[in-house]
Copies of this chain bind each other. A is one copy, B any other.
Amino acid sequence: MKRAEDYKKSIGSLRRPVYYRGELVSDVTSSPATAPHVNAAAETYAMAFEPEYEDLALAHSELLSRRVNRFTYIHHSPEDLVKKIRLLRAMGQRTGTCFQRCAGWDALHTMYILTYEIDQKYGTTYHERYLDFLRHVQENDLMVAAGMTDPKGDRSRPPGQQVDPDLYLRVVSVKEDGIVVRGAKAHQTGAVNAHEVMVLPTTALREEDRDYAVAFAIPADTPGLTFVFGRQTNDGRKLEGEGWDAGNRRFGMVGGEALIIFDDVLVPMERVFMLREFDMAGRGVEVFASTHRQSYGGCKTGVMDCLIGATSLLAKYHGVDRASHVRDKLAEMVHLNETLFGCALAAGLQALRTPSGAYMAHPLLANTVKLNATRFIYEIARLAHDISGGILATLPSEIDFRHPVIGPQIRKYLQTAPGVRPEDRFRLIRLIESLTGTAALVEVMHGAGSPQAQKVLLLRQANLAHKEQLALRLCSPDA
């Protein structure tokens, strides 16, 4: 298994074009824009060497007959899916942000299940091929970025009816030793600091769109790949002073999402895990959705623990921590957060066995988690703003604080409860600002699928017919 430093070194040495604000980033591990995200991902490596997390951070791989970093492990029991949530919460508490390894992990898990089921249906041998790849990932403790979401162009049209056929990633040609793909994947978490990129279809597909039914994994430095690093809220602040105005200075905001462009990339055949089995694309989406939506009740609750703690502390700094309305709001924040966590655990506990032997999170409960997250995280953020006060929107810059003339004045006038150092307060304010920033909220809204996708799946899983029978029994004349 890799240590945090091994991970950074291996990522730092990757050569591929990464653009940010019009420039090529030479080394993502040192560029101020990307380094925090590398730091966050590195914690997934660090934790695996800490004895107190042994049970959560490691798991026994049957494939290697040894323990591996759990972020490369395939869940084989409900208990595994419960441990996943506990691990993610611990990681969220540690980083206060997205640590980026879940999407790829969940994609790994999805393809394990999907390749098995495609083989069952079509007599193909994807699963064995896939196991080779998985072994490689586990042996080298690789970080995999998931390439799930296509740009989608006009959302009212299927892939093949877009103005440009490349608006969904597709197979351009099939060669003896591999396939050539073109297109892009958008909003990809951890993309610029992953070793591998794993691509899956983003939607159920019809026969005429079979060229869009493709899944594969390739090293991040494969020729033809380009990465465009997106902007986050207040991203420019990482470059100023010590960087405290950026908030979560060390680990950054959200997951360093990037647009990945595939410009006629050649994928060797041993890395192709689905090729034109269009009718299985929907199943893949369903498995990935359940798997990834459950995750939000882990990582986000950990991040929210940081926010709740920061807010509670700021209330103390301000001298309002004993006000009954402040206590009521803190209780509400905790309540919402634990509701998310509880449902995510339950989605693990109620996990379903798939034909491959792997378990997937309970779809109904997993969708419940994600839908609640799109509401509760916003409400927790709103309550944090309520308790924190207007200073969240008007605090002068760190540079002002350090200014010889105006700095002392700021310190004088923005001091609060006795014994609280103004700079400690300022750092906390910036942390709260960062934890509730637009990009952080939007990620919760749309990561793992938008709310409407959850509603649709919820209803599909709800078994209304059974509930109708229950009602009928109760009001039948001979009840």
Q: Which residue of B lies closest to A309 (CB)?
A: B467
The proximity string for A residues 306-341 relative to B, scoring 1 for CB distances below 8 Å and 0 otherwise, is 111110110000111011110110111011001101
Q: Provide the bound-state CA to CA distance between A156 and B400, in Å.
A: 28
Asked if A226 is at the interface (CB within 8 A of a chain B CB), the reply is yes
Count of this chain's copies in the oligomeric assembly: 4
CB <8 Å contact, A229 and B396 = yes
On chain B, the residues within 8 Å of A374 by CB distance are 382, 386
Complex CA distance for A248 and B472, rounded to whole angstroms? 11
A37 to B157, CA, bound (A): 42
Q: Bound state CA distance, A319 and B156, in angstroms? A: 5
Overall SS of chain A's interface: helix
Q: Considering only CB atoms, which chain B residue lies closest to A389 in the complex?
A: B446
Q: Report the Cα distance A446→B433, complex, angstroms.
A: 15
CA distance A102 to B479 in the complex (A): 23
Tally chain A residues at the interface, Cβ within 8 Å: 156
A25 to chain B, nearest CB (A): 12
The reply to whether A154 and B417 form a contact with Cβ atoms under 8 Å apart is: yes
CB neighbours (8 Å) of A433 from chain B are: 233, 438
Beta-carbon contact of A318 and B154 below 8 Å = yes
- The listed residue (B96, B254, B318) touching A470 by CB distance below 8 A is B96
With contact pairs A244-B475, A345-B349, A459-B331 given, residues A470 and B305 touching in the complex (Cβ less than 8 Å): yes
Indicate if the CB atoms of A164 and B471 lie closer than 8 Å.
no
Asked if A418 and B343 make an inter-chain contact with CB atoms under 8 angstroms apart, the answer reads no
Bound: A259/B413 CA distance, A = 9
Q: Is the Cβ of B156 less than 8 Å from the Cβ of A320? A: yes
Shortest Cβ gap from A23 to chain B (Å): 8
Instruction: Give the distance in Å from the alpha carbon of A325 to the alpha carbon of B323 in the complex.
Output: 12
8 Å CB interface, A107-139 against B:
none
Chain A 222-234 interface 0/1 with B at a Cβ cutoff of 8 Å (1 = within): 0000101111111
Choose from B322, B428, B430, B474 the contact partner of A251 (Cβ within 8 Å). B474
Closest Cβ of chain B to A367, distance in Å, is: 8
Which among A186, A233, A250, A445 has the highest number of chain B CB atoms within 10 Å?
A: A445
**Beyond A343-B343, A343-B346, A458-B334, is A378–B382 a contact (Cβ under 8 Å)?**
yes
Tell me whether A406 and B347 are in contact (CB under 8 A): no
- Shortest C-beta distance, A366 to chain B (Å), equals 10
A417: chain B residues at CB < 8 Å are: 153-154, 156
Q: How far is the CA of A236 from the CA of B166 in the complex (A)?
A: 34
Whether B451 pairs with A386 at a CB distance below 8 angstroms is: yes
The 8 nearest A-B residue pairs measured at CB: A309-B467, A236-B236, A390-B446, A342-B343, A22-B399, A230-B394, A342-B346, A310-B471
List 15 A-B pairs, Cβ < 8 Å: A20-B400, A22-B402, A167-B415, A244-B475, A244-B477, A305-B470, A309-B464, A309-B468, A327-B459, A335-B458, A338-B343, A342-B342, A375-B382, A382-B441, A394-B439
